[in-house]
Amino acid sequence: MFHKRDTHNHEVRGSDTPAPAPAPAESHGPSAAAGRSVAASIGPSISIQGELRGEEDLVVEGKFKGTVQLKKNTLTVGAKGSIDAEVYAHTILVDGTVNGDLYASERISIRKTARITGNIFAPRISLEDGARFRGTIDMDTENEAFRKAFGTPAASSVKPATPAERPVAEAARNAQAPGKSGSGTHG
Amino acid sequence: MPLLEDLLVESDATRHRVWLDLGTAQNGLLLRLRNRRARLIVADLPASRAVLPTQWYLPDAQLPPQNWHSPVDRILAWDLLDYLDAPQIRQLAERLASHAAPQCRMHALVHYAAPGMPAQPGSWRFDRDGALHAATISSTLVPAPRYSPKALEKAMPQFRVERTVLLNNGMQEFIFALCH
């Protein structure tokens, strides 16, 4: 069902898995960019329904419906890919069509060919001109949905505050430290 | 767009805010809201412009799939009001007010100085320097309704004009406040 190159430890529970596709999809993930071919792929002719878990990068060029759990890895929805799913991953790259909620502990990148309807949660989100998106974008990793998905706020959410966020961070600290001034400053 | 800029800058030093963008998703706005504990709801209503203006309205099904337990603090309407007649604006305002926080502000642009306007709503985008540009606007012109502040307040009794500025490009920029 998967085209795998140097892959291991994938688990799929579900049904509706037609015959394998003749050729693997091209990987767009960080591993591919670095010249390594370690991403598994679901080819254009494949349709899967169920729950997918793994510990390697995955490219979807076919159809998937269900839940994806790749919390330490990258999921790429290729230009021909279409998923109707709730996705939890380290990084999510979207070139194709998504209906559902996307949670990434690091980054979500929405390319110009993407069509997304749903809610996305990640500390860093980028969106290319031409991409279509309807839904909610939440970059606040302290929100309940993000905590529920990943247990704790993303690492990037506890980095030193930028000038833009400093007043909020200072206000929070001052609220816990009586005696300090409550006023924030723009750096 | 001085009033829009004020709205964006004002949010820097305040609490978590929910923004509702009635327009098309754009990376520039994401960059402006980054690091601010902001939630951005993108409705992408221009995608419905094929049915503008006669059949256009804002049922909940047109809004993004999310629960509305967090009311909206800021609304970006861009130039959509120009493409609605008064009853449609009233219906839109009713919908927006029902999802709005008490201190909600709405930003809007109206073609005012010139008698004509593009046949379709603009696609408004921030560039890397934060300047706002209108892209993919139709070259075909249609008569502009040239709504006055009073006409808009009459069409949207839930909102009052808080500030307004006539811009160099002939558009009138508005900040509306939710009435209590």
Residue-wise pLDDT tens digits, A88-144 = 999 999 999 999 999 999 999 999 999 999 999 998 999 998 899 988 898 877 777
Contacts of B38 in chain A (CB under 8 A): 139-140
Q: What are the tokens at B67?
A: 């629960």
Element (H, E) at B87: helix B86-98
How far apart, in whole angstroms, are the C-alpha atoms of residue B60 and residue B78?
20
Q: Which of residues 132-151 of A touch B (CB under 8 A)?
A: 132-140, 142-143
Contacts of A118 in chain B (CB under 8 A): 65
Q: With an 8 Å Cβ cutoff, are B30 and A139 in contact?
A: yes
Q: With an 8 Å Cβ cutoff, are B39 and A186 in contact?
A: no
How far apart, in whole angstroms, are the C-alpha atoms of residue A135 and residue A146?
16
* Residue B67 pLDDT level (bands cut at 50, 70, 90): low
The CATH number of residue B62's host domain is 3.40.50.150
Q: Which of residues 148-187 of A touch B (CB under 8 A)?
A: 161-162, 164-165, 167-168, 184, 186
How far apart, in whole angstroms, are the C-alpha atoms of residue A132 and residue A106?
22
- Write out the residue range of the structural domain in which residue B121 sits: 2-178
Select from A98, A119, A129 the residue whose CB has the most chain B CBs within 10 Å, as the one to mutate to test that interface.
A129
| A118 contact B CB<8A | yes
Radius of gyration of chain A (CA): 19
Assembly ipTM: 0.84
Could you say which of A125, A142, A164 has the minimum Cβ distance to residue B30? Answer: A125
Residue-wise pLDDT tens digits, B69-96 = 678 999 999 999 998 889 888 888 988 8
- More confidently predicted of A94 and B12: A94
Flag the least confident range among B21-35, B61-75, B100-114, B121-135.
B61-75
Q: How far is CA A91 from CA A96, A120, B20, B29, B66, in A?
A: 15, 12, 25, 21, 22
Q: With an 8 Å Cβ cutoff, are A128 and B65 in contact?
A: no
Q: How far does B149 lie from chain A, in Å, by closest CA?
A: 30
Strands B171-178 and B159-166: antiparallel
Could you say which of B14, B27, B38 has the minimum Cβ distance to residue A140? Answer: B38
pTM of the model: 0.78
Backbone phi, then psi, for B173, in 5-degree steps? -100, 135
Provide CB contacts within 8 A for B23, sequence distance 6+: B42, B43, B44, B45, B46, B76, B77, B78, B80, B121, B123, B124
- Give me the number of domains chain B comprises: 1
Would you state the pLDDT for residue A179?
A: 36
Q: How far does B63 lie from chain A, in Å, by closest CA?
A: 8
Provide CB contacts within 8 A for B139, sequence distance 6+: B118
DSSP B115-141: SEEESS--EEEE-TTS-EEEES--S-E
Q: Where are the domains of chain A?
A: 30-150
Would you state the pLDDT for residue B33?
A: 87
Residue-wise pLDDT tens digits, A9-58 = 455 555 444 444 334 444 444 444 444 557 899 999 999 999 999 999 99
Q: With an 8 Å Cβ cutoff, are B37 and A165 in contact?
A: yes
